[in-house]
Structures are given as structure tokens and as C-alpha cells.
Amino acid sequence: MERLQGKSAVVLGAAGANNMGQVIARRLAREGARVLVAGRRLEALEALAAEIGGVAARCDITQRADSFALADTAKAEFGRIDIAVNATGWGYLSTFLDMTEADLRKIADLQFVGTVFFYQAMVAAMAELGGGSLVQISSATATIMLNDHAAYMGTKAGTDHIIRCIAHEFGERGVRANSISPGLTDTPMTATATAIPGLVEAFLPSYPLGRIGTSEDVAAAVVFLASDECFMTGQNLQVNGGLTLRRNPTREEVAASIQQAATAHA
């Protein structure tokens, strides 16, 4: 423990109760980092900050000025930014032909355009102050297929490539940039889906390690990427129990598993 003693961190996307951002923020604090938690709901963020001895700030990632104000707040509170984690996201599902212009623009603003704003603000501060570690929470579906997920997959894949560009351009200034790609993960965002009898069972054969992931799995990977022992940049860590060695189940396989579970409980 306390592998991050003396470091300062920004975690964006930490307003949802027990979401991945909150789990990451708690783990960073346990490892000794001073943590600024950010998102759209200040009251929830202030409660989390009080719990972990950190600081809270409101930030709408789709607004460029908000990300730069967040960086300024972190510098004012901590003097520097050693770690910056983007854990925002929207689990948008739609068949390809039914995706609307409004939804496409919304997810692009959240998961690509706004994400680049966040990178710009954090990287500028890190490069100015001697370096740091930027971590993007991506998705295994940026690499492998999943039905009805095209806009989500595309925007996540796009940010993975931006991360590579940052690693290439800013490495000589001490900035490391990496992505983490979970698979199906037990989080509040997936709770409605994973509560459907048979759904998780449809996915389990795709996981060589025999279970779906947890936010704690992702948080442990963030700690490694944030630590001084990490000699890695421009990479996408597949923290998903081996899912990308195989594949996600098809729509038909999921439906069959759900039907089987329903029949068994009838």
C-alpha cells in the first residue's frame, strides 16, 4: 500500500455512487495520493471527497473551459498533477440503423471531443510541471465486436489512438499515457443488464479467467500505471480476464442464455 505517497491525482467521472471512478478514487487515496474528484454532480463529489480526504470540483467534460478550470484547481490545491484518470462514459446501445443524430453527437461529445479537451488540459499541466501519468478508461469493445454498440466502440477506439499520439509527442516531457480496456464489468452502469438472469452466464465462456471484471480490477491497474515503477506508455491494457483472446457472445447466444435461465426458473 501507499505506492503513490506524495502524488496528486485527478479522477473525472466520480459522481455516480460506487461507480468505477469512485472505486478508482478510493484506491488512489488508499495508496497515498491526494485526490481531486470531478464530475457533474458536486454534492455527490463533495461527499466522496470528505470520505477520502480529497477535494471535489464540478466539471462537464463536454465543455473545454471546464477541463482547463479543473486543471487550474488541481494545481492550486496540490501544486502539480501527477495522475489524471478519465472514467467518464455512457453505455449507449442502439442498432446501427437506429442511431440518431442527437445520440451520435451526444456520445461523440462525451467520449471523444470532450475527452480530448480533458487530455489537453491535463497534459498541458503535466508537461509544464515535469510529467505525469494520464489514464483513459477505454473498453475491450474498442478491439472486439459487440452487437448494437457501434458508436460506443468507435469513440472509445478513437480515444485509444489519441492516447498513443500523446504518448508519442509528450514522452520526452515526462508524460506517460495509457488506456485500460475492461470487458463486461460489475458496475452501476451495467447493473440493469447484469441483473437479467442468464446474461452474465452468456458472457462467462468468453473469459479464460472464469469471471467478469470488477471496478477493483481496473483500479489496481490504474495504480500500476500511475506508479513510478511503470515503464510503459502508449499502450492499451486489456484488463478483462482474457476476453480479447476470445470474443463477446452474439446477440443470439445472449438471447438463448436468457431464455434458458427463464425456463429453468419457470
Do residues 242 and 207 touch, judged by C-beta distance below 8 A?
yes
Q: Is 152 one of the annotated active-site residues of the chain?
A: yes
HSE at residue 266, side-chain half, CA atoms within 13 A, is 7
Kindly calculate the radius of gyration of the chain based on its CA atoms and give it in whole angstroms.
18
State the cell numbers at 203: 458472457
Catalytic residue among 92, 119, 152, 207: 152
**DSSP H stretches of helix in the chain:** 20-30, 42-52, 64-78, 101-108, 114-128, 150-170, 191-194, 199-203, 215-226, 251-264
3-state secondary structure of 157: helix
64-78 and 114-128 helices cross at what angle (nearest 10)? 30
3-state secondary structure of 53: coil
Do residues 147 and 250 touch, judged by C-beta distance below 8 A?
yes
Q: Distance between CA 117 and CA 221 in Å, rounded? A: 24
- The helix, strand and coil proportions of the chain, stated in percent and rounded to the nearest 5, come to 50, 15, 35
Could you list the active site residues? 152
